[in-house]
Chain A
Amino acid sequence: MPAPMPKMPNKDDPVATWEFLEIGVDRIMTQLSEGMDSKTYLGLYSAIHNFCTAQKVPSTGTFQSNGTKGGAHLLGEDLYQHLINYLQAHLDGVNQKSQTHTNEALIAFYIKEWDRYTTAARYINNLFHYLNRHWVKREVDEGKKNVYDIYTLHLVRWKLDMFASTHDSIMNACLRLVEKERNGETVENMQVKAVVQSFVCLGLDESDSRKPTLEVYKDYFEKPFLAATSEYYSRESKQFLADNTVVEYMKKAETRLEEEKSRALLYLLPEIVTPLAEACESVLITEHSAVLREEFQVLLDADRQEDLARMYRLLSRIKEGLDPLRTRFETHVRKCGLSAVEKVAADGDNLDPKVYVDALLEVHTQYQALVNTAFNGDSEFVRSLDNACREFVNRNKVCKSGSTRSPELLAKYTDTLLKKSGAKMSEEDDMEKCQADIMTVFKYIEDKDVFQKFYSRMLAKRLVHTTSSSEDAELSMIGKLKEACGFEYTNKLQRMFQDIQISKDLNSAYKGWLATNLEETDLKNAVDASYHILGTGFWPLNAPTTTFAPPQIITKTSDRFASFYNNKHQGRKLSWLWQLCKGEMRANYARAQNTRVAPTFQVSTYQMAMLLLFNESDTVTYDEMASATKLNKETLDPSLGILVKARVLFAEPENAKPESGTVYKLNLGFKAKKLKINLNITVRSESKQEVEDTHKTIEEDRKMLIQSAIVRIMKSRKKLKHALLVNDTIQQIKNRFTPKVSDIKKCIDILLEKDYLERLEGDELGYLA
């Protein structure tokens, strides 16, 4: 039981009042756990109240005149100063005791004392409620410095009389504790949390004591904590790297970063998370970034995806950490692409388009997967991948002979995919996947116009020869191209499809027309023919390169159709592309093996014209054949060669060249192995010629494309600096192909000469309407 309180002091006696109060304050401060009865508490409270109101004139009630205010003022200050003196003396004692402790014991002592002190402070603050409400409030309102409410006064005294001389040793003890934990020991880390909270409480705003700031915490905790952390990890990481591989180090670094993050969340302030992470990243990553990056190539070469992902995660934490990786990644992918192409390039001109496209795709697929899994789909890495792919797709060993090889081969691969063939891969999914793959490569192709050229030629052939495997697949492919390059790019391709559709309707209309307009006997003897009517502007087809006199039966057939067509569409001109026509003939003089059926020859119209001559005579000379068909030598000889090779005809003398003097004899003993024999085989040199022609038209088309782009730009701008015009032109065209500056300048020259443009002052060009 505490000693009983002395008698209430006289309210006008400051010395006695404080002496009375000091007993109470000290009891709260040092023996709070023993409690305080309410009578004592009230006695103390009243003593303060009485003291503060003692000077007031009772008759004026609550009214406060200027005269009385001055007295209360002085008396309040008296109490306040006494309390300060008391706290100073008290804390001095606490401070003395703290000297006897070190390390964890010191932290424990500090926290214990802090808790006791602050709890007491709250009680004393309540006790001095009246002083707070009146005297302190007035002092603060009048702008007096260094006057605080009683609770804050306690904190201020702690800061000055306790904290100032002990924070260094407290902090060192904390740091040693954390270091122990980092070294793997289990420690009382909650004590650190209590210290942090104490430091935070001491952050008092000088101008407004009720507003806490983090200044004390930042200066005396955060700063030394970060410094110690940096030093610790700087030392550790150097040591670890000296003894371990980079891969191991990255694992360690990642673990450490995680640990620090959870440490901060567990017993530090959330405010430290970012600066702590930065400090750790600086010593764990930035300091060693050169070493890490050195390892990047090794990991790429070994395809160590998990480690690459870890490196990405680590370096993405620091500023500009990834930039050097991107450059290396780009170079690496390009090299892989180039060497993949190099491997398949050995086949030279015979390079299988599929092999080539697969080689390109394989590299792309591999590194796209890497970007997505290891590099988190980082858009900058995607860009590097795109750059690398664009490089090796357009500039590689196969493209050495010309940058147009890639689009050409890609178009050829697409052709084999869409053509009817023995290979049974056209399952719906496969087709979709293959087309998507084609579009992947297509995206990187710079000469998109070249692809378009080859594609449209091959599509034309598929449509005319009805060798397309599926209309759905064709339309889906065109749809994809349209999506990638716009309506204009696929306009002609779509028109070609329309023509084929219209031709189908036309043929059935023609059948009806024949039935009503032809005698029955004529109808029976007529050649059963079907026709494709193809718009000249949309089809990449050339007129025949040879003269040709069709056999009479064909002429009759085609004339009949022409009269039907002209009747329907007056003023349209039909030109026959004989080189694309084909037909079937039955060889009634022969029998297919093991049957009694005459075999059927599938032939070109040219071959048909040659073979029909043998209806008149079993032998026909070369000259007769040439004059009857009017075919030129370049066409006649290879077509004839196929007939001889297939032993439909014999050349006499044997092995004679196709030339004047050679006689051809029908092989009446022809042995047909199958019912249908295809003699309409494209000669190899023919297709090579086509490729060359295609390339030639590309050059012409490009000139037109550049010129029309220039005119378009100038029409809208009217006046433009030369350099800007060149730049705008490149921008407009580059999704088709990348024009050379010199080519654009040549086109500007042409337009200047044609007076579409004029040269103005200061490198400017003007548009002449």
Chain B
Amino acid sequence: FYGTAPPPSPSTTALNKLFDSLRSADSTSTPDKIGPEGTMAYFGNLGVALDDVGCFVVSQIVASPGMGEMTRAGFVNGWAEAGAETAQQQAALVRARKAGLGKKENRGVLRGVYRHTFRLALTAPGQRNIDVDTAVAMWGLLFTAPSLEWKGSVDWLGLWTEFVRARGKAINADVWNQTLVFAEETLKDEGLGWWTEEAAWPALVDEFVKWCREERGVGVQKKAEEDEMSY
């Protein structure tokens, strides 16, 4: 009956208080916004570090507008929705979410975290894409354990990283979002039998598939090979 019971409704007053207390630890803060100093301290309390996918998990919950930034509204609403009122509860929730991020049943959570992470990397107003190095660093966290491991009999993350580095083209939101979808598909069928040029993949994904097949000899459909052999 745990599943059917409504989650304990955390008091927004308590969360506002917690936000205020975090604000006092940050010299640059404004009434409704906490800067990197306070945010990092708070992350430390929760037991997540910057080179840790847990930091993306927290950022998504509190809807950080940028890396190391928190707003009052995001903080209060985010935790209220997640159902964690105290720092201890929050730390426990983050720990659990992080640990389960790679699990199949948590794809929805992963997708939310993954998509929000792109926003974190946008620093200038009007910026539409992020440079390859930043993207690769973030993929490094998002596509390894405890998050989704983009690896089967082929080290897809390794290939993808090599490929996008070589292309050097900045990554826009669509490519970013579609990369996760693409990753999920590759893990379902490493022969890439589901891929066609006519499908809606971004051009970069199409080029990657061709590159894999032509240059690396991976992602080749086994069935097609056998058919050829039987001739």
Contact = CB atoms under 8 A, between A and B. Distances in A.
Interface string A709-732: 000000000000011001000000
Interface stretch (A219-227, A318-326, A693-701, A745-753): A745-753
Nearest to A755: B128
B198 A723 contact: yes
Interface string A735-769: 00000011001100100111100010001010000
B166 interface: no
A763 B199 contact: yes
B206 to A, nearest CB: 6
B128 A745 contact: no
A752 B204 CA distance: 13
Contacts of B198: 723, 726, 741
A255 B197 CA distance: 56
Contacts of B199: 722-723, 763
B32 interface: no
Contacts of A745: 197, 201-203, 206
Contact of A752 (B174, B197, B206): B174
Contacts of A753: 128-129, 172-174
Nearest to B175: A749
A763 B194 CA distance: 14
A746 B203 contact: yes
B15 to A, nearest CB: 33
B200 interface: yes
B174 A754 contact: no
Which interface class (under 10, 10 to 19, 20 to 34, 35 or more) fits A?
10 to 19
A759 B197 contact: no
B90 interface: no
Contacts of B71: none
Given A749-B174, A753-B128, A753-B173, A742 B206 contact: yes
A752 B172 contact: yes
Given A749-B202, A753-B129, A741 B174 contact: no
Interface string B135-177: 0000000000000000000000000000000000000111101
Contacts of B173: 752-753
Most buried by A among B129, B178, B201, B202: B202
A741 B200 contact: no
Interface in B174-216: 174-175, 177-178, 197-204, 206
Q: Max chain B CB contacts within 10 Å: which of A726, A749, A754, A765? A: A749
Contacts of A723: 198-200
A757 to B, nearest CB: 9
Q: Looking at B129, B177, B200, B206, which has the most chain A CB atoms within 10 Å of its CB? A: B200
Contacts of B206: 742, 745
A656 to B, nearest CB: 47
A759 B199 CA distance: 13
Contacts of B203: 742, 745-746, 749
B200 A763 contact: yes
Contacts of A741: 197-198
A753 B178 CA distance: 13
A714 B201 CA distance: 18
Nearest to A726: B198
Contacts of A755: 128
B128 A759 contact: no
A763 B206 CA distance: 15
Contacts of B174: 749, 752-753, 759
Contacts of B178: 759
B110 to A, nearest CB: 18
B162 to A, nearest CB: 21
Given A749-B172, A759-B178, 13 more contacts: A722-B200, A723-B198, A723-B199, A741-B198, A742-B206, A745-B202, A745-B203, A745-B206, A749-B204, A752-B202, A753-B173, A754-B128, A765-B200
Interface of B: 128-129, 172-175, 177-178, 197-204, 206
Q: Give the top 4 A-B pairs by smallest Cβ distance, nearest first.
A: A722-B200, A753-B172, A752-B174, A746-B203
